[in-house]
Amino acid sequence: MGKRRDYFVCNECGHEEAKWLGRCPECGSWNSFREMKAAGPAGGGAVGGAGGRAASGIRSAGSRASGGGRHSPGGHKKLEVMSIDQVQMADGVRLDTGIDEVNRVLGGGAMLGASALIGGEPGIGKSTLMLQLSASIRSQRPVLYISGEESLPQIRMRAERLGIVRPNSKGSPAPGAGGKAGAGTNNGGAAADEPGLGTKNGGAAGAAVQLVCESDLDRIMSVLREVKPQVVVVDSIQTLLSVDAGSVPGTVNQLKYGCHELIDWARETDAALFLVAHVTKEGAIAGPKVIEHMVDTVLYFEQAGSGLRIVRAVKNRHGSVDEIGLFTMEAEGLVQVPDAASFFLEQREAELPPGITAAPVYEGTRVLMVEIQALVVPAKSGFSRIYSDKIDNNRVSRIAAVLEKLLSVRFSDQDIYINVAGGIRLGEVGIELPLAMALYSARTGIPVPKQAALAGEISLAGEIRPTAHMQRRVRTAAEMGFTRFIGPRDVRAKGASSSAAGAGAAAGQGGTKIGGEVAGMKGTGTKNGAGGIAERVAGTKNGAGGSAAAGLPAGAVGAGFQRVQTLGDAVRYVFGQR
Ligand code: TYD
Ligand code: MG
């Protein structure tokens, strides 16, 4: 390696450039480049030459710290190559965090030896959640909360507000504090199932959260070695400072170096590590993106409407991604949303206004009933614009185009506004059919029937594509009082159909095709005669009784399930048969 020149690093994503740029070509951040000196241990490329510690800490972005031994340049150990079937499974131990919604996004609890990043904008509630978690985690060993952001009295004040410690008691935690904390985090009576919920070992004083206010990495490491906590929260990683990694806190090198040391320590001592990171629009301090690749789990805190806070897993080596945890921010801290499935649903007595559709969406491992809202008005500026922050603009645009092309409803001279009640962001493909119906309803002024719930993906040709987890969607919708369900053929129904009652299964498979060449069983179901769609089968409305559950796997909620194969079918079924 030749002599390296000074270079520039993007504080948001760690991208390196030889010259200063106003905008990072990698992540698009503005004004995020900082100059780096080539010499010294902070140099990303100088790994080989620097001292052992710095070398193990600083890696260039992308080169992940592998799980194996330390890469100190001096001590080369002989590498062992192993056949995959001989690798021993390490039984990961999970800790119950005492907060169900957090357990859920972590994939069943906090993994010992693993690290989780909690990102989010300032003020969203990261510190609040971490303090609540620290108090409620069901662990016999100490929990250490390291704060470089707030002073001890500030943290104590928050703890009092959260009910973790009793107000005015000097220095010692209130007996039974854990129980109170539990009540705070576990929304209302139901979950406060045992006294001392927060600290399972009976709320003994020894189990209280240990605090330290420090941002110097060396001192933090020595506290860790001394206290040997099993759960560690570092709030926040942007305050970490180590002389080995340059002198300014919050730079990319500081962040990578500090986090790497902490993650290594957690892995070696089998502790669960939580790293809090601010997401900033400014490039002044490095963002959490820089260390996403180092940690096992990445959680992002987002704010939805009406005080709702959503914790979303975007990466999880020990669980599924796209899992979400739902909280509301109350006076006593973050409170779990008790009935997530129906939380986003508006209760309406009368008919739905035009433009609104109910949809069971699959988020992580559960189904949530949501309400998709569309408003269509003549374009203000000659060309159509789409205002949609909860559903991807491109998706809205595509569905509108398919509707326009196939059903001749004009959107290209309209402004389209899309919203989701409760403000949850939806990225799942199953929302396309309900979105299409909301758009159609908004444009035509015909409301979607109140009792209808829809799910399905739409192809560019207007086919309704099989969508996963239909059974669970139907069940959730039925539990919430929806009596009609419109969706595609179940992916899993294919296999199940052979065992299902013959005729019904055939109807489900044959489905509804337009254009006269009749599929399956003409007119078994509900024929409303609308424009030659006689071949609607497996009807629902007082249709041929037995065929109502057509094609559904045994045990599914079948009544009222209408399978549709094209967008045209769906429109005719939803709006024709009222
Ligand atoms: P905080 O957890 O400090 O956010 P972060 O660490 O992500 O920057 O605080 C979040 C906000 O929540 C803060 O503005 C105050 C508010 N809050 C409550 O409404 N209730 C509470 O019980 C607490 C502790 C905070
Ligand atoms: Mg904070």
User: Would you give per-residue pLDDT tens digits along the chain (578 residues)?
Assistant: 455 678 888 887 888 888 888 888 888 888 888 887 765 444 443 333 333 343 343 444 333 444 444 444 445 668 888 888 888 776 668 889 999 999 999 998 999 999 999 999 898 999 999 999 999 886 667 899 999 999 999 999 999 999 888 776 555 444 443 333 333 333 333 333 333 333 333 333 346 789 999 999 999 999 999 999 999 999 989 899 888 877 677 788 888 999 999 999 999 999 999 999 998 766 556 778 888 999 999 999 988 877 789 999 989 888 878 788 999 999 889 999 988 888 888 878 888 999 999 999 998 788 999 999 999 999 988 788 999 989 999 999 999 999 999 999 999 999 999 999 888 889 899 999 999 999 999 999 999 999 999 999 999 999 999 888 888 899 899 988 899 999 997 655 443 333 333 333 333 333 333 333 333 333 333 333 333 333 333 333 333 333 333 344 434 445 678 899 999 999 999 998 54
Report the candidate in 261, 311, 395, 302 with the shortest Cα–Cα distance to residue 102. Answer: 311
Q: 125 CA distance to ligand 1 centroid (A)?
A: 5
Please state at what angle helix 126-136 crosses helix 152-161, rounded to 10 degrees: 70
For residue 241, list its beta bridge partners. 216
Token digits for 381? 């500026």
Q: 101: which residues sit within 8 A by CB, 6+ positions away?
A: 311, 325, 326, 327, 336, 337
Q: 263 CA distance to ligand 1 centroid (A)?
A: 26
Q: 213: which residues sit within 8 A by CB, 6+ positions away?
A: 146, 147, 148, 150, 151, 152, 155
User: Contact 12/283 with Cβ under 8 angstroms?
Assistant: yes
As a whole number of angstroms, the longest Cα–Cα distance in the chain is 82
Alpha helices per DSSP H over 380-501:
393-407, 432-444, 470-479, 493-496
Q: 337 CA distance to ligand 1 centroid (A)?
A: 17
Instruction: Give backbone dihedrals phi and psi of 500, rounded to 5 degrees, phi first.
Output: -70, 160
> What are the angstrom distances between the C-alpha of 28 and each of 21, 241, 477?
11, 27, 41
Whether 329 is in the pocket of ligand 1, judged by its Cβ within 6 Å, is yes
Q: 24: which residues sit within 8 A by CB, 6+ positions away?
A: 10, 12, 13, 15, 30, 32, 33
CATH 3.30.230.10 residue spans of the chain: 356-576
**Ligand 1 atom at shortest distance from the alpha carbon of 150:** 3
Tell me what pLDDT residue 139 has. Answer: 67
What is the distance of C-alpha 386 from the center of its chain?
Answer: 24
Instruction: Give backbone dihedrals phi and psi of 32, rounded to 5 degrees, phi first.
Output: -105, 0
> What are the angstrom distances between the C-alpha of 72 and each of 115, 220, 341?
22, 22, 50
Q: 278 CA distance to ligand 2 centroid (A)?
A: 8
DSSP state of 131: H
**Ligand 1 atom at shortest distance from the alpha carbon of 276:** 6
Angle (CA) 417 419 424, round 5° = 150
Q: 148 CA distance to ligand 2 centroid (A)?
A: 9
What sign has the CA pseudo-torsion 561, 564, 570, 576? negative
Whether 236 is in the pocket of ligand 1, judged by its Cβ within 6 Å, is no
Token digits for 343? 């939380």
Architecture of domain 356-576 in this structure: 2-Layer Sandwich (3.30)
Count of beta carbons in the 10 Å neighbourhood of residue 116: 25
Whether 278 is in the pocket of ligand 1, judged by its Cβ within 6 Å, is no
Q: 525 CA distance to ligand 1 centroid (A)?
A: 55
Token digits for 156? 């104590």
Q: Which ligand is nearest to the CA of 181?
A: 1
Whether 184 is in the pocket of ligand 1, judged by its Cβ within 6 Å, is no
For residue 377, list its beta bridge partners. 415
**Ligand 1 atom at shortest distance from the alpha carbon of 128:** 2
What sign has the CA pseudo-torsion 397, 401, 403, 409? positive
| From 145, 187, 233, 329, mutation site for ligand 1 pocket: most ligand atoms within 8 A of C-beta | 329
Report the candidate in 468, 490, 476 with the shortest Cα–Cα distance to residue 345. Answer: 476
Q: How far apart are CA 196 and CA 174, in angstroms?
A: 11
Tell me what pLDDT residue 168 has. Answer: 64
CATH 3.40.50.300 residue spans of the chain: 94-338
Q: How far apart are CA 133 and CA 136, in angstroms?
A: 5
Q: How far apart are CA 267 and CA 92, in angstroms?
A: 12
Q: 59 CA distance to ligand 2 centroid (A)?
A: 27
Token digits for 78? 């002989």
Is 3.40.50.300 the CATH number for 94-338?
yes
Tell me what pLDDT residue 507 has. Answer: 36
Q: How far apart are CA 423 and CA 425, in angstroms?
A: 6
Whether 333 is in the pocket of ligand 1, judged by its Cβ within 6 Å, is yes
Q: 91: which residues sit within 8 A by CB, 6+ positions away?
A: none
Please tell me whether the peptide bond between 222 and the residue prior to it is cis, using omega within 30 degrees of 0. no
**Ligand 1 atom at shortest distance from the alpha carbon of 124:** 7
Whether 478 is in the pocket of ligand 1, judged by its Cβ within 6 Å, is no
For residue 310, list its beta bridge partners. 302, 326
Report the candidate in 246, 5, 2 with the shortest Cα–Cα distance to residue 17. Answer: 5
Tell me what pLDDT residue 38 has. Answer: 67
Token digits for 297? 């789990």
Q: Is 244 helix (H, G, I), strand (E, B) or coil?
A: strand
